[in-house]
Structure 1
Amino acid sequence: MFASTLTRHLSHGFSALGHAVTPRGLRGVLDVDFGRAGLAVPLRVGVAVAVVFIIGGVTGQHAVAGFAALGALISAFCRPDPYPVRAGRLAVLGTGITASIGIGAVLGATGSNVFLVTAVVSVLAGAAAYLVWALHIVGPGAVVFVFGAAGAQVFAKDAGDVVLSVAVTAGGALIGMLAALAPWLYGLARDRFTRTHRVAESGVARREPIWVTLRRAPHRSLFARGVRITIAGALGAAIAMALGFEHPMWALMGAVAAMQGVGYHVTVHRGVQRLLGNVAGAVLAAILLALPLGYWGAVVAIVIFQILAEIASTVNYALCSVAVTPMALLLTSLGAGLAPAAAIDRVLDTAVGIVVGIVVAAVTITGVDAEAVARRPAQ
């Protein structure tokens, strides 16, 4: 019985891997839908990020302004949610990104070795993905938590750095939350001032408390998916280290980004799209890293790329990755400084993570996913 189950599962895995490299499996990778593009949310995200960078520049906190920007990035989440629902979920996200950066900072301040860092950040990736899935949160996903933790681990050298990075992230998250809820808060203030009553939004069932949503989540299934991401992240980082790459956390993030989709075909599409976007984005990043931009020049570029990434996120993930790659490298360079060659490292590390993510997703594919993959050629 066990041998037959194992054989069937391995057969599903090999079929899924074969599907990943067929024209039918890759169909749709370059599809774009500009009809889904919007400006309101991207501009609000851009404003939130710009505000925290301006505060960081004026106060001389250039090295930690990036953490505040990651906190402000919660404004990119929960786009489809009614504002009352969005408020609670954004609060959870703000707490989560602040905790993630705190965990990374503690790892750095205590001088943890690369193996412990990889293990902790991989578990963090799985836990963050679980939380995002359980609360039905739409947005950049768990990779933001991983990026923040990895950056904080490199930055923090003592307890003071831990406190500073956590404090600025929390402040940035508050600004991001205000930016995301600005239209709603403005409407409430206007109605109170004019003493009018707003008509209740539709979708009462979607207004259930966060704890109720968590209780309703399919915990066993989501836990299994979170474990898969943890394993893929750790394995991606380990392979990157074995190959002598200098940034194994980028491989970890590549695996997480590829696997945070729902189905196997989404993992394949996101992986290929992220790789294509990283190659194009790396060219832009290398050019910008070679220029003497300074803090304010880098900030302008980061804000522009952030807005473009948010616009492209609903159009095509490859286009989104073209903007995300230089933005992420410029963000990292604010605290650590990067040479243009880091753009090549980004592509190589990310490629390792993506391949590992697709392989792990295939090896651990569920029966439902395997049937869906088998049906796709016929469709």
Structure 2
Amino acid sequence: MQRSLITPHVRVRGAALQHVVSPTTWRDALRLDFSRTSVAAPLRVGVAVGVVLIVGALLGLRDLAGLAALGALVSAFCRPDPYPVRAPRLIALGIGVTAVIAVGATMGTYANSIVTEIVVTAVLAGIACYAVSALRIVGPGAVIFVFAATGAAGYAHSAADIGRATLASAIGAVIGILIALAPWFVELLRSRLLKSRTHDAASKTAPAQRESIWVTLAGGQAPAHRKHLAVTAIRIAIAAAIAATIAVAIHLDHPMWAAMGAVAAMQGVEYHLTVRRGVQRLLGNLGGAVIAGILLAVPLGYWGAVAGIVIFQVLAEILSTVNYALCSLAVTPMALLLTGLSAGLSPEAAVDRVLDTAIGIVVGIVVAALAVRGHDIAALHGHAANAPLADAEPELSQPNSASNRSRS
């Protein structure tokens, strides 16, 4: 009797793991989709990041410019949303990334063990995943918040550093929000200047539907969906903790990169998206690590690094809707150059990035497979049969779960 109960579970999880090596999975991972490519929004993200890095250097605050740039990355979120909907979401994200950097800086200052860092980072990852998915936010996803916390932890060594890091990220977030909403501000100004056209435009355009962020965050009137998101967030937190622990056990220098690898792979709510993202992220990181290793070996200096960060950030945003592997190809050198602004990374860090990412991806896929449900397997078969175009879910532009997803 007991064996008959166990066998179906073993079969389901075996089928889930088998999907990892399925030719369909790898074909999906390599499929390109140019139908939703845009340039204007990626350029705005690049401008936001570039502005804070340049201003930070001119003010003699190069060590804080990287944290401000992490705050400015909120400009990469919510690209498909109407501006009236996007504005409050970006503000909420700005507050969130600032809070995460404050927590990360506090952790870097006061945490006296790697265990504490792993636990705090994993909890932050779970909370961020739930919030981003519940709010149906399209963009880089929760991995940005983990990246921000890790960066702040590496920077801060005193109580004063906590305040500086928090203020820098808040300023960066404000700049990112203003630049992301710049077209809306221009349109509002134009409408005010052309009052005669304002009434006509208002009559032709249906107002965007709005919902309180707190209502959305609580899951609205769908407790089953809310529970599913909470369970997914817990799984992601567990995977992040396991991945970081393994990285520590084998003496890798940047164990939180492994946690980020697990989070990035598992950001998609559906299992087949977790597998595809894992494959794409691994392929992208391999290529990106080669690029990053070359750049880290060259004496770029601060301004050369800034130019590289902006270029790769814009490329990542453009490629985010084309293919996540290509997006990761650009994200990897961008992230390492940004980290190197304050940490002074060597070319060997690129190798660490690949190893940490591989650990995170493997752990993420295994945890997802162990927690997979029967209807997820049915969805896998349906997905393979239909072979749909890849819903690109990039790290720096990824849909997180529900509604208008196909773009972190």
C-alpha distance in 2, partners of 1:377/1:261? 17
Which residue is equivalent to 1:194? Answer: 194
Task: Decide which of 278, 285, 293 is 1:271's aligned counterpart.
Answer: 278
> What is the correspondence of 1:272-287 to structure 2 with a 5 Å cutoff?
272-287=279-294
Q: Give the partner amino acid of 2:356.
A: D
Task: Decide which of 311, 324, 333 is 1:317's aligned counterpart.
Answer: 324
Task: Decide which of 210, 222, 238 is 2:213's aligned counterpart.
Answer: 210
C-alpha distance in 1, partners of 2:3/2:361? 30
C-alpha distance in 1, partners of 2:264/2:356? 13
Deviation by residue 1:191-228 (Cα, 9 ceiling, x = unmatched): 22333424268565732222232341521111000001
Following superposition, the deviation at residue 158 of structure 1 comes to 0.3
Structure 1 residue 235 corresponds to structure 2 residue 242: yes
> What is the correspondence of 1:300-311 to structure 2 with a 5 Å cutoff?
300-311=307-318
SS at match of 1:314: coil
Following superposition, the deviation at residue 17 of structure 1 comes to 0.2
SS at match of 1:33: coil
C-alpha distance in 1, partners of 2:204/2:92? 22
Which residue is equivalent to 1:154? Answer: 154
Following superposition, the deviation at residue 143 of structure 1 comes to 0.2
Q: Give the partner amino acid of 2:345.
A: L
C-alpha distance in 2, partners of 1:164/1:273? 36
The answer (yes or no) to whether the contact 1:100–1:148 under 8 Å persists in 2 is: yes
The answer (yes or no) to whether the contact 2:111–2:117 under 8 Å persists in 1 is: no
Which residue is equivalent to 1:115? Answer: 115
Change (3 A) 1:193 1:112: farther
Q: Give the partner amino acid of 2:334.
A: M
Q: Give the partner amino acid of 2:284.
A: G
Structure 1 residue 128 corresponds to structure 2 residue 131: no
Following superposition, the deviation at residue 377 of structure 1 comes to 4.6
Following superposition, the deviation at residue 266 of structure 1 comes to 0.8
C-alpha distance in 1, partners of 2:4/2:343? 52
Q: Give the partner amino acid of 1:118.
A: I
The answer (yes or no) to whether the contact 1:10–1:363 under 8 Å persists in 2 is: no
Deviation by residue 1:258-299 (Cα, 9 ceiling, x = unmatched): 000121111111101111110111111011111111111100
Deviation by residue 1:108-145 (Cα, 9 ceiling, x = unmatched): 11143111100111010011010000000000000000
C-alpha distance in 2, partners of 1:376/1:9? 21
SS at match of 1:29: helix
Structure 1 residue 343 corresponds to structure 2 residue 350: yes
Structure 1 residue 64 corresponds to structure 2 residue 64: yes
Change (3 A) 1:87 1:6: farther
Aligned length: 379
Following superposition, the deviation at residue 370 of structure 1 comes to 1.9
Change (3 A) 1:14 1:176: same
Which residue is equivalent to 1:167? Answer: 167
The answer (yes or no) to whether the contact 1:26–1:268 under 8 Å persists in 2 is: no
Which residue is equivalent to 2:392? Answer: none
Q: What TM-score comes out, normalization by structure 2 length?
A: 0.89
Deviates more, 1:199-208 or 1:115-124: 199-208
Q: Which runs of 5+ in 2 are unaligned?
A: 387-408
The answer (yes or no) to whether the contact 2:141–2:267 under 8 Å persists in 1 is: yes
Which residue is equivalent to 2:74? Answer: 74
Following superposition, the deviation at residue 5 of structure 1 comes to 5.1
> What is the correspondence of 1:6-25 to structure 2 with a 5 Å cutoff?
6-25=6-25
Which residue is equivalent to 2:374? Answer: 367
The answer (yes or no) to whether the contact 2:105–2:161 under 8 Å persists in 1 is: yes
Following superposition, the deviation at residue 234 of structure 1 comes to 0.4
Q: Percent identity, please.
A: 58
The answer (yes or no) to whether the contact 2:46–2:313 under 8 Å persists in 1 is: yes
Q: Give the partner amino acid of 2:294.
A: I
Following superposition, the deviation at residue 15 of structure 1 comes to 0.9
The answer (yes or no) to whether the contact 1:232–1:357 under 8 Å persists in 2 is: yes
C-alpha distance in 2, partners of 1:201/1:70? 38
Which residue is equivalent to 1:358? Answer: 365
